[in-house]
Structure 1
């Protein structure tokens, strides 16, 4: 939809702004050819081309120069780190602060065949099933429901991580740690972003939240987090304590203490709690509400005793959400015990913004349109997709009337002439802009 608005706007005007905006990225490229083709490729990603694979992209911005763009993406040996740092710095300027959240998730790119780096039979949220795809771990900064994706890192499934020769053939760097889990990749990206962006919470879905090592690593870094989990997650009452070990005059001394309370599943804990209806944000069709329950507990994720029972770990909130069709979702959050119920719900539900970011990356700048097979080519394309979406979000966060030369109501009138699906997306866009520009 952002590219659609650029097409509807006075195109020469936004292209005059682009060189100045892109200049910090321009200086990151050492060679003249790289400096020439980098802005061309990003403008192609921002263009209204239906598909952003190499041929249609080149037809939009560099007719007859497809080979030059192909070489720049797949073969030219430039690093992504400097560009990612500029993306983070600019995202911090636009959205960063204590009210921002950092969202950890993954997004999958459907693929045929077996030669593209990292491709394999994996769970795809987009497809809703196990399918042949590449999986990218994403880190997104969001505030006020506006997302800016900061990092995209390819996850290598076991059939790749256990085959160094295959990885070498696909161009996986030798220094890349094979066998890294998704949560380990996410932690490395969080560490790399420390000091570059400011945020108040880390959010993640159950794919990351069920892992106690991931949660403990976030806590060890002094971070507040809210993550998805499963209904069978076991917890202790908040007042649990360890019974002192008895002294024995004979036999082996007891090594492991015993908790004063038994564990329960969070499903069983929340059944006894009152469920309340909460409005967490205003949507395009009115307020978004749901039914929630919460209880402060101690997580059963400490060291295991002789019986294999996990001892009490850190204190955290368990939160349940009743969906419209009867489905229930569960979350863990390490905010303090005095946190208000409404704040718990609002923070937890902010994770949806990364889904919007993933959708924009794919539908607007063609993240999933890349047809190359190598590690370098994929990550070159991915980082320039981040740059392109950052530019579009910068336009979105600028004064829309002054930039496009037309008002939001005028853009709304354009909605009548597009398909119902795109019309719905444009209404969401205009609603967000109106809320943003009417704020302080």
Structure 2
């Protein structure tokens, strides 16, 4: 494996495309979901492309690591990864000699993780990957340009955002996410299951708030919240 990764001459993008084509053939479905996420790989030294000291969820602290942005595909037939991008910090992209020593082409420039997700989604759309919507966590949801790009492509999405973010309401004013949720009446919440768990249905209370004043025909925008049924150590219901 190390010989393949370090010394063998092979077309990594071609292999990616072959994997994606296989996934479309065997797992593809009109109700499929494209999922953007990232992960970190612990590394020693400073020669591996993109490595630097940064927070690692894997280790739970700042560590020397690389970060990869990934696009996954999920349907009722199964789930797997179909694309990837290596995150290159600006400390790397501004040091072209270091990039060349690590085998990074000169044309590769700095890109945020949401920009990398856009590139991967564009490739998936271009080749006709069948899917119904896109989802990702708040590292991507807080990027307004990603949400705008998805809307320009007429792609439905569910993206997490932060409680402190502000959103436009139909009344044309703006409100913080946590304040909009806190203002919901009790009747706005509906209990739904997200699937079977080890101890029975995994149930939460759900609610949504209409946002934005101008919607594309046939489309809507909502702030959606999920509330736990049990209280945490602070005696509060956790809301996501």
TM-score clears 0.5: yes
Q: Does 1:155 align with 2:87?
A: yes
**Whole-Å Cα distance in 1 between the matches of residues 59 and 147 of structure 2?**
27
Q: Retained in 2: the 8 A contact 1:277–1:289?
A: yes
Q: Retained in 1: the 8 A contact 2:84–2:120?
A: no
Q: Retained in 1: the 8 A contact 2:193–2:204?
A: yes
SS state at 1:229 partner: coil
Which string of whole-angstrom CA distances, capped at 9 and with x for unpartnered residues, describes residues 272-326 of structure 1?
A: 2233321111234421111222111118xxxxxxxxxxxxxx9521012224534
**Whole-Å Cα distance in 2 between the matches of residues 227 and 120 of structure 1?**
28
TM-score normalised over the length of structure 2: 0.86
Q: Does 1:192 align with 2:103?
A: no
Offset at 1:225? 0.6
Q: Does 1:270 align with 2:181?
A: yes
CA change 1:235–1:145 in 2 (3 A) is: farther
Structure 1 or 2: larger helix share? 1
TM-score normalised over the length of structure 1: 0.48
Report the counterpart of residue 78 of structure 1 in structure 2: 10
Q: Does 1:322 align with 2:227?
A: yes
Structure 1 or 2: larger strand share? 2
Report the counterpart of residue 194 of structure 2 in structure 1: 280
Q: List structure 1 runs of 4+ shifted beyond 4 angstroms.
A: none
Structure index of larger Rg? 1
Higher relative contact order (CA 8 A, sep 6+): 1
Report the counterpart of residue 216 of structure 2 in structure 1: none
Q: Does 1:233 align with 2:183?
A: no
Offset at 1:208? 0.5
**Whole-Å Cα distance in 2 between the matches of residues 145 and 275 of structure 1?**
32
CA change 1:285–1:145 in 2 (3 A) is: farther
How is 1:75-154 mapped onto 2 (pairs within 5 angstroms)? 75-144=7-76, 146-154=78-86
CA change 1:294–1:234 in 2 (3 A) is: same
Structure 1 segments unaligned to the other structure (5+ residues): 1-40, 42-53, 55-69, 241-261, 300-313, 330-440
CA change 1:229–1:186 in 2 (3 A) is: same
**Whole-Å Cα distance in 1 between the matches of residues 77 and 24 of structure 2?**
15
Report the counterpart of residue 151 of structure 2 in structure 1: 219
Structure 2 segments unaligned to the other structure (5+ residues): 214-218
Q: Retained in 2: the 8 A contact 1:104–1:204?
A: yes
**Whole-Å Cα distance in 2 between the matches of residues 212 and 105 of structure 1?**
17
**Whole-Å Cα distance in 1 between the matches of residues 54 and 70 of structure 2?**
16
SS state at 1:193 partner: helix
How is 1:292-307 mapped onto 2 (pairs within 5 angstroms)? 292-298=206-212
**Whole-Å Cα distance in 2 between the matches of residues 205 and 81 of structure 1?**
26
Instruction: Return 223-232 or 318-327, whichever deviates more.
Output: 318-327
| Aligned-CA RMSD value | 2.0
